[in-house]
Chain A
Amino acid sequence: MLNPLKLFQPTSVQEASQALVEFGAKANLYAGGAELLLLLRNGLIDAEILIDVKKIERLRRLDSLDGTLHVGACLTHHELATNAPIRERAPSFAYAESQLANIRVRNQGTLGGNLAFNDPHSDPGTILLVHNASVTIGNAKGERRLALGDFFLDMYATALEAGELLLEVEIPSLPAGMTSAYKRLHRYQRPTLGVAAAARIAGGIVADARLAVGCIGPKAQRLTELEGKVKGVPLTDTTRIFAEQKKYLRDVLHPVDDLLGSVEYKLYMTGMMLGDALAEAAGERRPED
Chain B
Amino acid sequence: METRSSFNLTVTVNSQPWSGEVAIEETLLEFLRERLHLTGTKRSCESEVCGACTVLIDNRAVSACNYLAFEANGKSLFTIEGVARGNELDPLQEAFIRNIGAQCGYCTPGQIMAAKALLMDNPNPSREQIAEWLGGNICRCGAYGAIAQSILEAAAAYRSKKEIR
A-to-B contact residues, CB < 8 Å: 1-8, 15, 18-19, 22-23, 33-34, 37-38, 41, 49-50, 78, 101-105, 107-108, 188-189, 289
Contact = CB atoms under 8 A, between A and B. Distances in A.
A24 to B, nearest CB: 12
Contact of B24 (A1, A50, A188): A50
Contact of B25 (A4, A101, A107): A4
Contacts of A108: 48, 62-63, 66-67
B47 interface: yes
B66 A37 contact: yes
- State the 5 A-B residue pairs at the shortest beta-carbon distance, nearest first: A102-B136, A6-B3, A2-B25, A5-B25, A5-B24
B48 A34 contact: yes
Contacts of A15: 1
28 contacts: A1-B30, A4-B5, A4-B24, A4-B25, A5-B5, A5-B23, A7-B4, A7-B7, A8-B3, A19-B1, A33-B68, A34-B66, A37-B27, A50-B24, A78-B60, A101-B48, A102-B49, A102-B51, A102-B137, A103-B61, A103-B114, A103-B133, A104-B48, A104-B51, A104-B136, A107-B61, A107-B62, A108-B63
Contacts of B46: 41
Interface string B33-65: 000000000000011110100100000111100
Contacts of A105: 48, 63, 136
Nearest to B6: A7
Given A34-B48, A37-B68, A103-B61, A189 B1 contact: no
Interface of B: 1-5, 7, 23-25, 27, 30, 46-49, 51, 54, 60-63, 66-68, 70-71, 114, 117, 132-133, 135-137
Contacts of B66: 33-34, 37-38, 41, 108
B61 A189 contact: no
Contact of B67 (A1, A5, A33): A33
Given A3-B25, A103-B117, 18 more contacts: A2-B27, A5-B24, A6-B5, A7-B3, A7-B70, A8-B1, A37-B68, A38-B66, A41-B46, A103-B133, A104-B48, A104-B51, A104-B61, A107-B62, A108-B62, A108-B66, A108-B67, A189-B49
B57 to A, nearest CB: 8
Nearest to A7: B24
A110 to B, nearest CB: 13
Contacts of B70: 7
B23 A4 contact: yes
A215 to B, nearest CB: 17
A188 B60 CA distance: 23
B68 A104 contact: no
Contacts of A3: 25
A108 B55 CA distance: 12
